[in-house]
Chains A and B, each alone.
Chain A
Amino acid sequence: MTTPDSQTFNKDQSTQEQYFTPNLSGRYKWDTVFASFTWLAVGLSVVILAVLLISVVWDGFPRLASDFWGFLTNFPSRKPEQAGLLSALVGTVWVMITVAIFAFPIGVGAGVYLEEFATDNWFTKLIEVNINNLAGVPSIIYGLLGLQLFVRFLEPMTGGRSILSGALTLALLILPIIIVGTREALRAVPDSIRQAGFALGATRWQVIWDQVFPIAIPGILTGTILALSRAIGETAPLITIGALTFISFLPENLQSQFTVLPIQIYNWVSRPQAGFHTNAAAGIIILMVVLLAMNGLAIFLRNKFQKRG
């Protein structure tokens, strides 16, 4: 861009004109520098993500390529080349199903209560402020709560350091996310639909169940899946409640001891032998694929949902 000096416009009426020295070319130089820096920052973020993914695939893919089936169906082992993910995979499936069974109805129910039933009083406000604050509590603190409440206090029911204790801890952790997601989905349903339901003589609950839910359910599911994908990668709270890092048996019931994918990965990363690091990278690939699939499903649902709205 060419930059004219102030003589460009021949007419110069202003008595104050002499005081201004716009120095446009200098300012434009800084504009270019600044814009370049913002693009550099974005570029760097993209590059970092690429490096992260490539380094993991580079390290872990050979392990998957050489013995993919064995890696998925072997128990952990002292020998890296024989060690597999079986107990961690099965443990993750058990834990996630249990988390969903608890977190989905409670989270959606709480969301419906706050959005549809609750009047705007101090108690509702307290719950809202509280949910905001819970979202900021470090996940390891939930682990400390789970250790005290589920592992120790409720041991007769949960069986101590068990799948149930772990799942309940993670369910509490993702509850705020599901509640917020449910409320957003409900808020997106136009009020005219509720009014129409009331006008036909339905109770509030009948309106919610028959009219509001069918429209809001894709949004609610999206929020729930995103919350579950957060839970599936959580490590710290499960270590705190005492999930084991080395397990060579499959869980039989909810009171069994267990391990999960991220804990198995953590264990392999923290070993000194390079063979285990390869296993860790391979495990990360599996974990990321699962996460990507869940996120893909969530995005699919969201797009479907948005089209209708």
Chain B
Amino acid sequence: MTQVSSSTELVTEAVLRAQGVKVYYGTNLAVRDVTLDIPFNKVVAFIGPSGCGKSTILRCFNRMNDLVASARVEGKITFHGRDLYASNIDPVETRRRIGMVFQKPNPFPKSIFENIAFGARINGYKGDMNELVEDSLRRAALWDEVKDQLQESGLALSGGQQQRLCIARAIAIAPEVILMDEPCSALDPISTLKVEELIQELKQQYTIVIVTHNMQQASRVSDLTAFYNAEATEGGNKVGYLVEYDRTEVIFQNPTQQATQEYVSGRFG
């Protein structure tokens, strides 16, 4: 797509790179021709109206779409230059290296400690588990609130705490990239603020891709913003596509595309 022009020049080093990615569910095309780079230790926000395929693309980065039997990915996605969908790449290992936080907090019905230890255990973590749990909770800015109740159920926490527990769980297995799929959409404003602050902190060590419906959030937390839109096909299905990808201030103040201008100014979507 010609619209995606300025993206490459501002990328110093691409961790993830999507080239002409198309996603099908069954025979329906859901997203077409997405090409973009996710630079190292930056926060990239995906914005756009519902059904524009931003979450779908996000789920391609850690191969969560493999779990949907009808999903099919075309095009190329590379992680540090290696093709993520090559036959010798394992989805399980991929997900360990590229963590994910979901729309609704989904702590396991286990203790807080076990929620974090789970991923480390299955991936053969050989270090000190207590240290790892404490370290992960500290990085997720949750340690002070839960240090005395590590053996209590993760479900007993408030919604905002649960989401930070899920972030702690994700960083416990030492990923390089954290994918966040509307992580604050189920949270109240105060919890949202805490998670946003946390994202700013995590940026120092991790590359973050965040899908959000909230444009203020995108402008607050991200360095780069990708705007997706959807168009109806003849068959009545919606197909998403990438409209514009640039530095966040450019997208919000001086976008090149008419659609982006209208969306960020709240005129549609």
Q: Which A residues are within 8 Å of any B CB, using their own CB?
A: 1-4, 6, 8-11, 13-14, 16-17, 19-24, 27
**Cα distance, A2 to B96, chains bound together (Å):** 17
The minimal Cβ–Cβ distance linking B153 to chain A, given in whole angstroms, is 27
Most chain B CB within a 10 A radius of its CB, from A10, A13, A24:
A13
**A24 near B90 (CB under 8 angstroms)?**
yes
B150 adjacent to chain A (CB < 8 Å): no
Majority secondary structure, B binding face: loop
**B80 near A14 (CB under 8 angstroms)?**
no
The minimal Cβ–Cβ distance linking B131 to chain A, given in whole angstroms, is 10
**Cα distance, A66 to B88, chains bound together (Å):** 65
20 new A-B contacts at CB < 8 Å, known A9-B97, A22-B96: A2-B87, A2-B88, A4-B88, A4-B89, A4-B93, A8-B93, A9-B79, A9-B80, A10-B82, A11-B15, A16-B127, A16-B174, A19-B125, A19-B126, A19-B174, A20-B120, A20-B124, A20-B125, A20-B126, A27-B122
B173 adjacent to chain A (CB < 8 Å): yes
**A20 near B87 (CB under 8 angstroms)?**
no
**A8 near B174 (CB under 8 angstroms)?**
no
Q: Which of A8, A14, A17 contacts B82 (CB 8 A)?
A: A8
**B176 near A11 (CB under 8 angstroms)?**
yes
**A11 near B87 (CB under 8 angstroms)?**
no
Which residues from B are CB-within-8-Å of A23?
124
B92 adjacent to chain A (CB < 8 Å): yes
The minimal Cβ–Cβ distance linking A204 to chain B, given in whole angstroms, is 40
Tell me the count of chain B residues lying within 8 A, CB to CB, of chain A: 24
B237 adjacent to chain A (CB < 8 Å): no
Which residues from B are CB-within-8-Å of A9?
79-80, 82, 97
Across the A-B interface, the 8 shortest Cβ-Cβ residue pairs:
A21-B124, A11-B80, A19-B127, A14-B174, A16-B174, A22-B123, A2-B88, A19-B126
B266 adjacent to chain A (CB < 8 Å): no
**B90 near A4 (CB under 8 angstroms)?**
yes
**Cα distance, A3 to B92, chains bound together (Å):** 9
Measured CB to CB, the nearest residue on chain A to B126 is A19
Which residues from A are CB-within-8-Å of B122?
27
**B123 near A8 (CB under 8 angstroms)?**
no
**Cα distance, A8 to B175, chains bound together (Å):** 15
B236 adjacent to chain A (CB < 8 Å): no
B235 adjacent to chain A (CB < 8 Å): no
**B126 near A21 (CB under 8 angstroms)?**
yes
Interface CB pairs A-B, < 8 A, 22: A1-B90, A3-B93, A4-B88, A8-B88, A8-B89, A9-B79, A9-B97, A10-B81, A11-B15, A11-B80, A11-B176, A14-B174, A14-B176, A16-B127, A17-B174, A19-B127, A20-B123, A22-B92, A22-B96, A22-B124, A24-B90, A27-B122
**Cα distance, A16 to B129, chains bound together (Å):** 12
Which residues from A are CB-within-8-Å of B93?
3-4, 6, 8, 22, 24
